[in-house]
Structures are given as C-alpha cells and as structure tokens.
Amino acid sequence: MTFQRSGNCEMKTVHTFSSALSRYIAGANYLTSLTGAGVSAESGIPTFRGGDGLWNRYRPEELATPEAFSRDPETVWRWYAWRMERVFSALPNPAHLAFAKLQERGRLRSLITQNVDDLHERAGSRDVLHLHGTLRQMRCVTCGRRVPVDRPPEVPPLPVCACGALMRPDVVWFGEALQPDVLERAFAEASRSDVMIVAGTSAVVHPAAGLPLEVKRRGGTVIEINPDVTPLSSLADLSIRMPAGEAMMWCLTG
C-alpha cells in the first residue's frame, strides 16, 4: 500500500495513511526503526546520495577512507571539522522528536540509525544503535582509545591521542567493516521485530539494508517513509511518500 503526497493532497488521504501507520504502531508487539540520512536532511544536514548530496561535490575516496586519512589526514580532518560544525549546530526536527516520543510512550523498542549525528539523542531518544559510528567521538588509530567530541577541533594542529598517535573521527569509512557488536545487536533487534519503520534511507547500503529484509523474512511488517521510491519500496507493506517528520507528526497528532 502506497501513499504519495501531491501538491493538493486531500485531508482524507492524509488521515488514511496516518490511520494506517497508527494502527501498525499500536498493534506492534516489538516496534523498531531504522533511520537514514533523509531524516537528518530535514534538519539541514546534507545527504550522501540525494540530489544535493555531499558526495556530489567530493569524491568519497578523497575524504572518507582509511587510505585518504593515511595520505592526507589534515584535509580529511578539515572536512570533518566542517561537518561537525554543521551537525553540532543543527537542531532535531519533528521526525527525531516523534521517534523519541514513541520511545517515551513505550511503543518503540529499538532505534537503529545509519546517521553519525546525535540528533536522535538530543531529541530525547535513548540507547540509539549507531551503525556507522558517531561524530561525537574520535578514536586513536593505534590504541583505539575513544574521546568525546564537544566541539569541532581546530585544524591544524591534528588531534593526537595521549599515546602520541593520531586521532580520527569515530565513524565507519568506505571499505571498513561495521563494529561487530553494534551490527550483531542491530540484527538481534530486527529478528525480534514484528514491525519496523524505515525512514529516510535509500536502503541500498549493506549490511544495514538487510535489517528490514530480516524483519520480512520472519513474517514481520515493514513501513517505509521516504519521499522517493527506493529498492525497498516494492517489499514494504506500507510505503509513505513524504518526509519522515511530516508523516510521523501526522501519525502522533492525527
């Protein structure tokens, strides 16, 4: 079932999709959510794969790979300091607030995100599983020590660990594996889930893209919220073609 917003969307259509979404949420025994860059984009953070995505202006191998960091750590850190400034100054949007409210009400059991920002946490969500790491930490390339990041670093100088080695952003770069413990927990949550809301993700990056497939494999329901058609759309039980903030707030208030 697909609902798509048009320029003259009738209230009847809005109430129909919000009622359907509300029924799925109310009837779920174990509701989970997977969020992607489209959710953060509603707070003004550029996406990676959309029409205005970051990768349209920069080559990923120049900025977000271990090889790039080894070759030119200052350029990589300058770019990440710029990203941190954008992310840390952004505010949670209605989608973040809605997911936090669902968790507060005891409906949402687990929130999994592909995003490296902390907007879910600042909206009030707890125990968020960050599949791709977080910009709120940096990690030593030698000893693995993690240090919180309260503000973007001034570069130069480059951030250095107490052991003398360079620090790097604690995010998963292209060509790197996800943290095994985080990935294991995410799939464990998906295997328990009978309803998963997939919001703002293109559903093409594995292994994260396998999470809704795991829900479907076990007979569960997948709800997609995305303005665009994605590879997941044909498999979703309910597909809502609008921004996550708008859809989720209609669900909570409609």
Q: Which residues are catalytic?
A: 132
Q: Do you know the residue count of the chain?
A: 254
- Give the full edge-to-edge strand order of the sheet including 195-199: 2-4, 238-241, 221-225, 195-199, 31-35, 108-113, 129-130
Cα–Cα distance, 85 to 220 (Å, whole number): 39
Query: How much of the chain is helix, strand and coil, in % rounded to 5?
Result: 40, 20, 40
Q: Which residues pair with 171 in a beta bridge?
A: 133
Which of the 8 DSSP states describes residue 236?
-
Q: By C-alpha distance, which of 49, 45, 51, 50 is closest to 60?
A: 49
Question: E-assigned strands of 120-234?
Answer: 129-130, 133-140, 146-148, 167-171, 195-199, 221-225
CA distances to 75, 94, 192, 217, 227 from 112, in Å: 30, 17, 13, 18, 20
Type of residue numbered 32: T
